[in-house]
Amino acid sequence: MTHSLHRRGDVESLKKDFLVLACTAKGFNDDVFAPLGSEFVRICARHKPVNGGDMKTGNLLYVDPETIAQKVSRSTIIEFTFDDKQNVIDTIKELKERDLGISVVISGMIDEVNDIVEKAGLPKVHTREYSLGTHGKTKLLPEWEVLEFTTMCGHAMVASELVKKMIVDSKKGRATHREAAVVMGKCCSCGNFNVNRAVELLEKNAPLWTADYPVY
Amino acid sequence: MLVDETKCIGCGRCIPFCPVQARSFGRAATSGRTVIVIDRDRCAECGVCERAGVCPVDAIHQDLLEWPRQVRSILSNPLVEFKGTGIPGRGTEEIKTNEVTGRVKYGRVGVGIEVGRPGVSTRWTEVEKIAMAVAKLGIEFCAENPITHFMLDKKSGKLDPSVVNEVSLSAIVEFEMAEEQLLDLFRVLREEVDGQIDSVYTFEIAARLRPDGTTTVLKKIQDAGYDMLKVSKNNLGLGRPHFPEEVAR
Task: Mark yes or no for CB contact B235/A155 under 8 Å.
Answer: no
Q: Which residues of A touch B189 (CB under 8 A)?
A: 135
The CA-CA-CA angle for residues B137, A105, B200, to 5°, reads: 45
Write the residue in A106, A137, A187 that is nearest to B52 by C-beta. Answer: A187
CA-nearest of B127, B149, B15 to A216 is B15
Whole-angstrom distance, CA of residue B238 vs CA of residue B249? 21
Residue B58 has pLDDT above 60, yes or no: yes
Of the listed ranges A1-5, B60-64, B186-190, the least confidently predicted one is A1-5
Q: Which residues of A touch B240 (CB under 8 A)?
A: 29, 101-102
Give the pLDDT of residue A125: 98
The ipTM value here is 0.95
Q: Which residues of A touch B205 (CB under 8 A)?
A: 129-130, 132
Task: Mark yes or no for CB contact B17/A7 under 8 Å.
Answer: no
Backbone torsion region of residue A18, taken as left when φ is above 0, otherwise alpha when ψ lies between -120 and 50, otherwise beta: beta
Amino acid at B51: R
Q: Which residues of A touch B101 (CB under 8 A)?
A: 25, 28
How far A159 CA lies from chain B's nearest CA (Å)? 4
Look over chain B and give the mean of its residue pLDDT values, rounded to a whole number: 93
How many of the other CB atoms lie within 10 Å of CB of B142? 25
How far A91 CA lies from chain B's nearest CA (Å)? 13
Give the pLDDT of residue A216: 60
Q: Are B89 and A77 in contact (CB under 8 A)?
A: yes
Give the pLDDT of residue B87: 60
Q: Tell me the percentage of chain B whose pLDDT exceeds 70.
A: 97
The CA-CA-CA angle for residues A116, A117, A123, to 5°, reads: 165
Whole-angstrom distance, CA of residue B211 vs CA of residue B194? 35
In chain A, the residue whose alpha carbon lies closest to the alpha carbon of B230 is A109
In chain A, the residue whose alpha carbon lies closest to the alpha carbon of B54 is A183
Task: Mark yes or no for CB contact B233/A107 under 8 Å.
Answer: yes
- Note whether B79 contacts A: Cβ–Cβ < 8 A: yes
Question: Tell me: the pLDDT tens digits for B130-166?
Answer: 999 999 999 999 998 999 999 999 999 999 999 999 9
CA-nearest of A170, A191, A18, A192 to A88 is A18
Give the pLDDT of residue A1: 45
Q: Taking the model in full, what pTM does it have?
A: 0.95
Q: Are A86 and A116 in contact (CB under 8 A)?
A: no
Per-residue DSSP letter, B184: H
- For CA atoms A8, A9, A10, A14, give the dihedral sign: negative
Give the pLDDT of residue B125: 98
Radius of gyration, CA atoms only, chain A: 18
Residue B222 has pLDDT above 70, yes or no: yes
Whole-angstrom distance, CA of residue B2 vs CA of residue A163? 24
Backbone torsion region of residue B39, taken as left when φ is above 0, otherwise alpha when ψ lies between -120 and 50, otherwise beta: beta
- Note whether B203 contacts A: Cβ–Cβ < 8 A: yes
Bond preceding residue B118 cis, omega within 30 of 0: yes
Question: What would the mean pLDDT of B27-39 be, rounded to a whole number?
Answer: 93
Task: Mark yes or no for CB contact A133/B227 under 8 Å.
Answer: yes
Cα B133 to chain centroid distance, Å, stands at 17
A contact test, residue of B21, B54, B97, B214 with most A CBs within 10 A = B97
Per-residue DSSP letter, B172: E
In chain B, the residue whose alpha carbon lies closest to the alpha carbon of A109 is B231
Q: Are B86 and B167 in contact (CB under 8 A)?
A: no
Radius of gyration, CA atoms only, chain B: 21
DSSP string, A75-134: S-EEEEEES-HHHHHHHHHHHHHHT--SEEEEEEEHHHHHHHHHHTT--S-SEEEEEEEE
Give the pLDDT of residue B49: 96
In chain B, the residue whose alpha carbon lies closest to the alpha carbon of A183 is B52
Residue B90 has pLDDT above 80, yes or no: no
Residue B89 has pLDDT above 70, yes or no: no
Q: Long-range pairs for A92-96 at CB < 8 Å and ≥24 separation?
A: A92/A20, A92/A116, A92/A117, A92/A120, A92/A122, A92/B236, A93/A120, A93/A121, A94/A43, A94/A46, A94/A47, A95/A40, A95/A43, A95/B238, A96/A120, A96/A121, A96/A122, A96/B238
Whole-angstrom distance, CA of residue A196 vs CA of residue A175? 15
Q: Which residues pair with A106 in a beta bridge?
A: A20, B234
Three-class secondary structure assignment of B46-93: CCHHHHCCCCCCCCEECCCCCCCCHHHHHHHCCCCECCCCCCECCCCC
Question: Tell me: the pLDDT tens digits for B194-210?
Answer: 999 999 999 999 999 99
pLDDT tens, per residue, chain A with 216 residues:
468 899 999 999 999 999 999 999 989 999 999 999 999 999 999 999 999 999 889 999 999 999 999 999 988 889 999 999 999 999 999 999 999 999 999 999 999 999 999 999 999 999 999 999 999 999 999 999 999 999 999 899 999 999 999 999 999 899 999 999 999 999 998 999 999 999 999 999 888 887 666 656
Where are the strands (E) in chain A, listed by range? 18-23, 51-54, 58-59, 77-82, 103-109, 127-136
**What's the pLDDT band for B246 if we cut at 50, 70, 90?**
confident
Amino acid at B26: G
Task: Mark yes or no for CB contact B48/A187 under 8 Å.
Answer: yes
